[in-house]
Amino acid sequence: MLAVGPNGAGKTNLLEAVHLATQGFSPRTRADAELVRFGTAGARVAVQGTRHGTPFEVELTIRPGEGKRAKLNGAALRTAEQLRAELPALVFTPDRLVVVKGSPAARRAYFDRALARLLPSRSSLPVEYAAAVGQRNAALRRVAARLSDSEALAPWTAQVAELGAALVTAREEAIAILAPAFAVKAAALGLPEGRLDYTGKVPTVEALEARLQRDIDRGITGLGPHLDDVGIRSGDRDLRSYGSQGEQRLAVLSLVLAEADCLAERRGGGPLLLLDDVLSELDRTRREALVQLLPANGQTLMTSTAADALAVEPGQLLVVSHGRVRVG
């Protein structure tokens, strides 16, 4: 589907609403109060669809101060995780460029979310590992303040080592799944030899013990996958430092399309793709290439200011104007 309309018409709003209802959060902000229309007490998004041939209905409400509530087919959900597991959606927005050009932390967060989608049985590993590092850091500071002795660190060190090794393995697997598809999509969009490079630093107990005094002095765990990075390259060129804005955009788009394919293959149905303002920056050849790269068995919602940016069937065109949507 292509949603068209002038700037400020509400296209991003529409896409954001669909993301909110299917993923439980906005791709733009974590401040849910911002999602409520000015001057009203709450927000509600309802989405109906079909998945694996079965109809579903999801409803999400926000009341500032009371939090969010989501219902799937009328039944209240306890966590947004449940929603995401049922209705996977991947989003591209212009500010996602941060995945390529931002800090290592932005890439870790992005690839850990991809890990959670691609390897659902290990989806909680990144959070569990971060919690273990946080607890070890707190324990390091207690030792530095002489509130406890370094023996007390041993259980936390063991836990960081165990979860850290598991996280490195899971990341390596997720990257290995994504990398070939990334290369294919990037090449089709005109970015040659797309590569994803990840070498995790496994925090073994021995290696952590060996740097114990330094960690105590600094109050932080200085070794482990919480410090890793993922290289996003075209050939030998690191796109973070040496990619043009256009190449960085193609890289992010290739990542989204690659994951869509991998998910479609692993789950027997493509995710919902939400592509905001992607067409304006692409020349005609790349726009046509993009259409060919969309997963055949999923649904895509794109926005554009120009109705002629893409050739679509009449039923696939949504006209957005002053916050209202009609089928064009």
Site for ligand ADP, rule CB under 6 A: 5, 7-13, 34, 36-38
Q: What amino acid is encoded at 201 in this protein?
A: K
Please identify, using beta-carbon distances, which residue of 34 and 288 lies nearer to ligand ADP. Answer: 34
Please identify, using beta-carbon distances, which residue of 116 and 318 lies nearer to ligand ADP. Answer: 318
State in angstroms the smallest separation of the CB of 79 from ligand ADP.
Answer: 25
Contact partner at residue 23 from Mg ion, ligand ADP, none, CB < 5 to 8 Å by partner kind? none
Are the C-beta atoms of 233 and 197 separated by less than 8 Å?
A: yes
The residue number with the shortest CB distance to Mg ion is: 12
Contact partner at residue 122 from Mg ion, ligand ADP, none, CB < 5 to 8 Å by partner kind? none
Contact partner at residue 38 from ligand ADP, Mg ion, none, CB < 5 to 8 Å by partner kind? ligand ADP
Contact partner at residue 5 from Mg ion, ligand ADP, none, CB < 5 to 8 Å by partner kind? ligand ADP
Residues that bind Mg ion (rule: CB under 5 A) add up to a total of 2
Please identify, using beta-carbon distances, which residue of 40 and 50 lies nearer to ligand ADP. Answer: 40
Query: What string marks each residue from 1 to 40 as x (binds Mg ion by CB under 5 A) or -?
Result: ----------xx----------------------------
State in angstroms the smallest separation of the CB of 95 from Mg ion.
Answer: 11
State in angstroms the smallest separation of the CB of 178 from Mg ion.
Answer: 27
Please identify, using beta-carbon distances, which residue of 12 and 254 lies nearer to ligand ADP. Answer: 12
Please identify, using beta-carbon distances, which residue of 36 and 77 lies nearer to ligand ADP. Answer: 36
Please identify, using beta-carbon distances, which residue of 37 and 69 lies nearer to ligand ADP. Answer: 37
State in angstroms the smallest separation of the CB of 122 from ligand ADP.
Answer: 35
Residues near Mg ion (CB under 5 A)? 11-12
